Amino acid sequence: MNAQITLHKGDITTDAEADAIVNAANTSLLGGGGVDGAIHRAAGPELLAECRTLHGCRTGDAKITKGYRLPAAHVIHTVGPIYRDGRHGEPALLASAYRRSIEVAAENGCARVAFPAISAGVYGYPADEAARIAVSTVAKAMAEHPQVIEVRFWLFNEHLYRAFEQALRELHTMS
């Protein structure tokens, strides 16, 4: 089967086809707002208890836990950068968050991975740029880790959905 990237609108926590859901976490891994809070609420208090044992996560890195009450077996917690102006290492850190998430998924037998738009919510990353980095980085990482056969982007609004749609079109034109 060829690796594929698919786009979805709605609630990432309901994805029953993903082996792992990626959490756009903060460095503490102890929950927060946006998708982070939604994943913690849906997974239940056991997720927070396991996250406490991980002692945080650096920006651009990723760590894995069980999924608990989520339909997905695992949660991959990654920390994207807070966007300042794009000249403080943000693109490299955002790419690293996606790349490390794919690596962790592959190492743990997760073939289908659901991603939110990392850093494109309260962390302020511009949607078009975030989408280009996400799609190109994930495509490269999937080529290096063929065990990951599908990445499922869950986008919470029309603006982000259109940005990811455009980034996917650009990727297909270039290949």
> Which segments of 69-158 are extended strands (E)?
74-78, 112-115, 150-155
What number of helices (H) and strands (E) belong to the chain? 5, 6
Q: Are 54 and 81 in contact (CB under 8 A)?
A: no
Q: Is the dihedral of CA 26, 32, 37, 43 positive or negative?
A: positive
Kindly state the DSSP code that residue 81 receives in the 8-state scheme.
P
Structure tokens at 163: 């940005």
The candidate with the shortest Cα–Cα distance to 118, out of 149, 84, 144, 90, is: 90
Catalytic residue (choose from 11, 15, 36, 61): 36
What are the phi and psi torsion angles at 81 (to 5°)?
A: -80, 150
Active site residue 11: no
The candidate with the shortest Cα–Cα distance to 132, out of 88, 162, 105, 108, is: 162
Catalytic residues: 36
